[in-house]
């Protein structure tokens, strides 16, 4: 299989399982529509490419140390808890169909960067799967090419997810949309609790 195809498929495969990023994309798509949801996904895709390069460069030991693992754990748990709680408290009123402002798109992109950077599941995924692709891409140029296609693959998945959620937003009524948005917020909170338990188990007990 050509390297770029393998990287493209890998980007999709890592992005596709529903995790904190996917739940946030769903929540944002239900609340704000396609554009902001896609911006979160693109931010996440960029971090996927960066983490692939970090894993390929042998940063796995650094990610497993407490000095880096604890801040990532605390930051990820706190940020997901904030997103979940704020979504429950104020995220059930949908925005208008007007195009999102550039500032809101930048905020959404930054949110995608932050969620994925602090997501232990993302880090673990790339530490687990980056090795085989990195062996195939021995030269720096090939590694950068692989990282670029990983970003493209991940972004394609999030574009599909954002479009599907935005379409659902147009089809369902207000009460259903409010319940779905609340459910997405609860799912984000559930991931925060999961990360808290995992971190306590790994770094405290």
Note the pLDDT tens digit of each residue in 145-162.
889 999 999 999 999 999
Secondary structure (DSSP) of 22-56: HHHHHHHHHHH-HHHHHHHHHHHHHHHHHHHHHHH
Region 80-86 average pLDDT: 87
Least confident piece of the model among 61-70, 99-108, 114-123: 61-70
Whether the full predicted model's pTM is greater than 0.85, yes or no, is no
Q: Which two tokens stand for residue 9?
A: 């498929």
Q: Which residues contact 10 (CB under 8 A, 6 or more apart)?
A: 129, 133, 150, 153
Secondary structure (DSSP) of 122-169: HHHHHHHHHHHHHHH--SHHHHHHHHHHHHHHHHHHHHHHHHHHHHHH
CA torsion angle 125 167 148 79 (round to 10): -50
Identify the three-state secondary structure at position 92.
coil
Q: What distance in Å separates the CA atoms of residue 79 and residue 69, rounded to the nearest whole number? A: 15
Region 125-134 average pLDDT: 71
Q: What is the pLDDT of residue 185?
A: 87
Q: What distance in Å separates the CA atoms of residue 14 and residue 47, rounded to the nearest whole number? A: 12
Percentage of residues in the chain having pLDDT higher than 90 = 30
**With DSSP H G I counted as helix, E B as strand and the rest as coil, what are the percentages for the chain, rounded to 5?**
85, 0, 15
Q: What's the chain's average pLDDT?
A: 83
| 143 has a pLDDT exceeding 90 | no
Per-residue pLDDT tens over the stretch 42-67: 999 999 999 988 888 776 666 666 66
Q: What distance in Å separates the CA atoms of residue 166 and residue 31, rounded to the nearest whole number? A: 9
Q: What distance in Å separates the CA atoms of residue 22 and residue 19, rounded to the nearest whole number? A: 5
- Domain count across the chain: 1
Q: What distance in Å separates the CA atoms of residue 98 and residue 2, rounded to the nearest whole number? A: 42
Sign of the torsion formed by the C-alpha atoms of 161, 185, 177 and 33:
negative
| 91 has a pLDDT exceeding 60 | no
Q: Which domain holds residue 190?
A: 3-204
Per-residue pLDDT tens over the stretch 12-31: 998 998 888 999 999 999 88
């Amino acid at each position: 299989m050509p390297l770029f195809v393998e990287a493209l498929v890998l980007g999709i495969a890592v992005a596709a399982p529903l995790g904190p990023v996917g739940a946030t994309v769903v929540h944002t798509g239900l609340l704000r529509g396609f554009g902001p949801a896609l911006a979160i996904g693109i931010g996440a895709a960029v971090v996927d490419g960066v983490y692939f390069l970090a894993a390929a460069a042998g940063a796995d030991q650094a990610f497993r140390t407490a000095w880096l693992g604890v801040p990532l754990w605390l930051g990820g748990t706190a940020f997901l808890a904030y997103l979940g709680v704020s979504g429950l408290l104020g995220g059930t009123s949908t925005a208008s169909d007007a195009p999102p402002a550039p500032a809101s798109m930048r905020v959404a992109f930054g949110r995608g960067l932050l969620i994925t950077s602090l997501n232990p599941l993302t880090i673990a995924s790339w530490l687990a799967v980056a090795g085989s692709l990195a062996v195939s891409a021995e030269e720096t140029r090939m590694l950068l090419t692989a990282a670029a296609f990983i970003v493209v693959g991940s972004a394609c998945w999030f574009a599909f997810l954002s479009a599907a959620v935005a379409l659902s937003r147009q089809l369902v009524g207000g009460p259903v949309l409010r319940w779905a948005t609340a459910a997405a917020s609860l799912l984000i909170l559930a991931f925060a609790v999961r990360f808290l338990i995992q971190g306590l188990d790994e770094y405290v007990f």
